[in-house]
Structure 1
Amino acid sequence: MSLCTFRVLVTTALAACIAPAFAAVSAEEAAQLKTRLTPMGAERAGNKAGTIPAWNGGLTAPPSSYKVGDRRPDPFASEKPLYSVTAKNMAEHADKLSDGQKAMLQKYASYRLDVYPTHRTAAAPQSVYDNIFKNATRAKLVDGTSYPIPSGAYGGVPFPIPKTGLEVMWNHLLRYQGHAIRNKGGQTWMVTADGKKVMTVEGVQEIMQPYYDPKGSADTWDGTYFMTRVLNYGPPIRAGESLVARVNVDAAKTNAWVYLTGQRRVRKLPNPSGDTPVASSAGVMTFDEVTVFAAAPDNFDWKLVGKKEMLIPYNNYKAQQPTSAEPLIGDSHLNPDFVRWELHRVWVVEAELKPGKRHTAVKGRYYIDEDSWVAVLADRWDAKGQLWKTQFGLTISHPEVPFTDHTLYGFYDLISGAWYAGPLNNKPVAGNQGTIAVSDLKDTTFTPDAMVGDALR
């Protein structure tokens, strides 16, 4: 990838000389969050070409007809694509495409990118903006058990004006997804190299972010930033299985457990991180590929390349409109008719496997949306130097909260031809068509005891 296409914000020399404890930005820099930058740290202005508009506060109110739990409507349903990118014209748009997207266009004649007008819909509550402003001058990276972890941050992305690749990745990991949310009826699908379509899991996922607890603070937070409980009720072979995880910024303090119906017992997972396979994906996705990137960032050295205008999946309400998952699942990829692409600015971060570490992917490149800090695309290379997997995260905004995050994510294996996507929230489920904010979750919900109590069989 040519650096001349980037507006390089951080030099390699600077990244190499940063001390073990990275300093927060100055008050003068932080003041930009109220002028030149959005409260999240994105560039407030649009681009010179006018193809990226200025941020005007994002999407903060749903249609008046929408009721929480309904199928989420598409606010841009009347729009038509400005153009489509195919293998025939991809050279015209090459500087806006990731290596993985170029490879998909070359590999499959049926693959295309329908590009729509750009809408900067990302938004968050004012309390999150207030915390981000405080984090800018108080948050820093300090030594954890085996890698740098955030300290002094709370209730918002820790590094809205990032100086390193690791800071950008921590912003993604600590992004706002709502304090407590539930997704009922999500399905995950795996498609084999020969086109066999397999629903691997159907169930309920509940999530809490203690890092965003309004009753907490930077002084009381114990480093646990993400808690999840998953209960499977399909397919029949998986019904009753469940998982609970409590993820800490310091991976040595992360814990996860699974309940296996055949054994009728809870087992603690020894390593819920890195390239350990995720059972709900039939073992094809690793823990650090969930939501494009998740879990501890300890296996890689992270280099901030800069910021770039890219075509990325965005505002994908269209993907939620079918009443079953089948219309979205093609033989080799998601059905392009239901995937919306827009031009946005993204942070670009490269990952190189650390000396002495092992991982099935030795190199990666990640694209993080500047407005929401959500990782939207990534490419991974194997030990032979082959471009192996290209990952995607389709985003939507939840204006009633508000927050922006994935509606589904997955990857395409460019070598084998297999692929994976989920959760797909298309099958009608009473009272919960997709992800909604809830108020009935608590800390004890995310314990092994609670998981056993909810087992189906």
Structure 2
Amino acid sequence: MKATKKLFGVLAFSVLASSVMAAVSPEEAAKLDNTLTPLGAEKAGNAEGTIPAWTGGLSTDAAPLDDGHLTNPFKNEQPEFVITAQNVDQYKDKLTAGQQAMFKRYPDTYKIRVFPTHRTAAVPDRIYEAAKKSALNTELVDGGNGIANFSDSRYYAFPIPKNGLEVVWNHITRYRGGNVRRDIVQATPQTNGSYTLVHFEDEVAFPSDMTDLDPERAKNALLFFKQRVTAPSRLAGNVLLVHDSLDQVKEPRQAWIYNAGQRRVRRAPQVAYDGPGTAADGMRTTDNFDMFSGAPDRYDWQLVGKKELYIPYNSFDINSSDVKYSDIIKAGHVNQDLARYELHRVWEIEANLKDGERNIYAKRRFFVDEDTWQIVQSELYDGRGQLWRVGEAHLLQYYQHKVPAYAFEALYDVISGRYIAIGMSNEEKAHEFGYKASARDFTPAALRNAGVR
């Protein structure tokens, strides 16, 4: 642990305000798939042996599927120990401030069950090759708000990061399985645990997987996202469309909403930054989606270093199709008897709101899994410097497709005692990876058809 801190402590600095940040040298890039994994994590385990070496991740046949749904490759394992409010002080060095705040807010019910660590992350070989290209070519531009020389690779912009913004860009540009369709639900429980589920149909498509996308449009395109509300009935038929760009300062996010009641398509500039999340009852902002999404330009980003933390990982049980939403959603927080935590190395980054900019979060702290570049824990602070919300993503590997992903995300308001959980799919049909997407389906003109009830 001390060696890790020493190694990465030298990287703790804010992003330089230069117009271009250089890519790494061929000698540095050669570390990928050598001392580093192909995506830039430390390949070796830790000195204590509590984090194993990465040996390639889960195989595509790691466990049988249940009607397309994942099952648990580690179903026979038991927790090595359980962290509670009574013994939390013993484990503080491997817990975030946000996790410690959860123990204080819910001393009788919150727990962390710690299992053996498995480094299960894997992506297709072509994505590893793309990451190597990114390391050699991709650069930050516009003060870090955009990236250049990236269009040929498209994934993991900076697998050997030098600053906080490059770590954020790895999260933003990570591999998500190509085009994906999914049915998911969202819940915003009251303090007594009562809730109403909101059902969504999501579609996401990427420029490299859309054959009819205009080449000029594709150059600065990051992804295309469409989300249709299917329940409850008062919201059913509303549709959101988002076009995200690589440089959102040069070409800001474009968003439209189809309102089923009005039968009108409107531009939606509020679907950005701290604009309200869809049907979220005020419990999350737009840029809380996917733990963090959108333009990074309103913050100064600092790379604090690397550390070992107990984080939600290999979350197959809480994602199981045998588990009902009522089993997961409880008062105060999700059912921690279903959650699995493991010890993993994470990058820690801190974002402070720039002078003259506005966002309801004055400071953010993110913890990013080294093997997948997914943000797994977040701490969000208000303008008074008080910890307000604690984010947690339950990571798992879609082993049959070689896709690291989230089972779902939760965002806890440690002041009000409420939370939001989004992305659950236990009772839905299995996700559809790799579907054929047309650019025509992601236009404002297509929204009306998508919103027909």
TM-score when normalising by structure 2: 0.93
Residue 59 of structure 2 corresponds to: 60
Residue 374 of structure 1 corresponds to: 374
Residue 300 of structure 1 corresponds to: 299
The residue identity in structure 1 corresponding to 2:350 is E
Query: Does structure 2 conserve the Cα–Cα contact (< 8 Å) formed by 1:211 and 1:223?
Result: no
Alpha-carbon offset, residue 424 of structure 1: 1.2
State how 1:97-246 maps to structure 2 within 5 Å: 97-108=95-106, 109-143=108-142, 148-153=145-150, 154-184=153-183, 186-199=184-197, 201-210=198-207, 221-246=218-243
State how 1:383-422 maps to structure 2 within 5 Å: 383-422=383-422
Query: What SS class does the counterpart of residue 43 from structure 1 fall into?
Result: coil
Alpha-carbon offset, residue 6 of structure 1: 3.1
Query: What SS class does the counterpart of residue 333 from structure 2 fall into?
Result: coil
Query: Does structure 2 conserve the Cα–Cα contact (< 8 Å) formed by 1:211 and 1:226?
Result: no
What is the distance in 2 between the residues matched to 1:365 and 1:284? 18
The residue identity in structure 2 corresponding to 1:37 is L
Query: What SS class does the counterpart of residue 106 from structure 1 fall into?
Result: helix
The residue identity in structure 1 corresponding to 2:231 is G
Residue 76 of structure 1 corresponds to: 74
Alpha-carbon offset, residue 439 of structure 1: 2.1
Query: What SS class does the counterpart of residue 188 from structure 2 fall into?
Result: strand
What is the distance in 2 between the residues matched to 1:10 and 1:212? 39
Which of 221, 242, 247 aligns to 2:244? It is 247
Query: Does structure 1 conserve the Cα–Cα contact (< 8 Å) formed by 2:209 and 2:437?
Result: no
Which of 90, 93, 116 aligns to 1:92? It is 90
What is the distance in 2 between the residues matched to 1:4 and 1:75? 32
Q: Which moved more, 1:320-329 or 1:110-119?
A: 320-329
Query: Does structure 2 conserve the Cα–Cα contact (< 8 Å) formed by 1:239 and 1:456?
Result: no
Q: Relative to 1, partners in 2 of residues 1:13 and 1:424: Cα closer, same or farther, differing over 3 Å?
A: closer
Q: Deviations over 1:72-96 (max 9, x none)?
A: 1111111111111111111111011
Residue 452 of structure 1 corresponds to: 448
What is the distance in 2 between the residues matched to 1:215 and 1:55? 38
1:9 aligns with 2:8: yes
Query: Does structure 2 conserve the Cα–Cα contact (< 8 Å) formed by 1:311 and 1:343?
Result: yes
Which of 433, 439, 452 aligns to 1:437? It is 433
Q: Deviations over 1:110-144 (max 9, x none)?
A: 00000111111111111111111111111110117
Q: Deviations over 1:362-421 (max 9, x none)?
A: 011100000000000000111111110000111111122211011100210011111000
What is the distance in 2 between the residues matched to 1:246 and 1:106? 40
Query: What SS class does the counterpart of residue 238 from structure 1 fall into?
Result: coil
Residue 360 of structure 2 corresponds to: 360
Q: Relative to 1, partners in 2 of residues 1:359 and 1:330: Cα closer, same or farther, differing over 3 Å?
A: same
What is the distance in 2 between the residues matched to 1:415 and 1:95? 24
What is the distance in 2 between the residues matched to 1:451 and 1:75? 40
Query: What SS class does the counterpart of residue 266 from structure 2 fall into?
Result: strand
TM-score when normalising by structure 1: 0.92
Query: Does structure 1 conserve the Cα–Cα contact (< 8 Å) formed by 2:270 and 2:276?
Result: no
What is the distance in 2 between the residues matched to 1:237 and 1:13? 49
The residue identity in structure 2 corresponding to 1:393 is A
Residue 32 of structure 2 corresponds to: 33
What is the distance in 1 between the residues matched to 2:412 and 2:444? 33
What is the distance in 2 between the residues matched to 1:419 and 1:10? 34
Query: Does structure 2 conserve the Cα–Cα contact (< 8 Å) formed by 1:155 and 1:213?
Result: no
Alpha-carbon offset, residue 272 of structure 1: 2.0
Alpha-carbon offset, residue 13 of structure 1: 7.7
Query: Does structure 2 conserve the Cα–Cα contact (< 8 Å) formed by 1:30 and 1:133?
Result: yes
Percent identical pairs in the alignment equals: 36
The residue identity in structure 2 corresponding to 1:210 is P
What is the distance in 2 between the residues matched to 1:12 and 1:58? 27
The residue identity in structure 2 corresponding to 1:445 is D
Flag structure 2 segments of 5+ consecutive residues without an equivalent: none
RMSD: 2.4
Query: Does structure 1 conserve the Cα–Cα contact (< 8 Å) formed by 2:367 and 2:377?
Result: yes
The residue identity in structure 2 corresponding to 1:86 is T
Alpha-carbon offset, residue 179 of structure 1: 1.1
Q: Which moved more, 1:274-283 or 1:115-124?
A: 274-283
Query: Does structure 2 conserve the Cα–Cα contact (< 8 Å) formed by 1:60 and 1:401?
Result: no
Alpha-carbon offset, residue 261 of structure 1: 1.0
The residue identity in structure 2 corresponding to 1:77 is K
Query: Does structure 2 conserve the Cα–Cα contact (< 8 Å) formed by 1:7 and 1:307?
Result: no
1:317 aligns with 2:316: yes
What is the distance in 2 between the residues matched to 1:76 and 1:408? 19
Q: Which moved more, 1:393-402 or 1:337-346?
A: 393-402
Query: Does structure 2 conserve the Cα–Cα contact (< 8 Å) formed by 1:190 and 1:420?
Result: yes
Q: Which moved more, 1:361-370 or 1:441-450?
A: 441-450
Residue 424 of structure 2 corresponds to: 424
The count of aligned residue pairs is 447
Alpha-carbon offset, residue 11 of structure 1: 3.7
Alpha-carbon offset, residue 60 of structure 1: 3.0
Query: What SS class does the counterpart of residue 244 from structure 2 fall into?
Result: strand
The residue identity in structure 2 corresponding to 1:328 is I
Query: Does structure 2 conserve the Cα–Cα contact (< 8 Å) formed by 1:7 and 1:308?
Result: no
The residue identity in structure 2 corresponding to 1:173 is I
What is the distance in 2 between the residues matched to 1:95 and 1:5? 14
Query: What SS class does the counterpart of residue 411 from structure 1 fall into?
Result: strand
The residue identity in structure 1 corresponding to 2:437 is L
Residue 255 of structure 2 corresponds to: 256
Alpha-carbon offset, residue 440 of structure 1: 2.8
Alpha-carbon offset, residue 152 of structure 1: 0.9
Flag structure 1 segments of 5+ consecutive residues without an equivalent: none
The residue identity in structure 1 corresponding to 2:141 is V
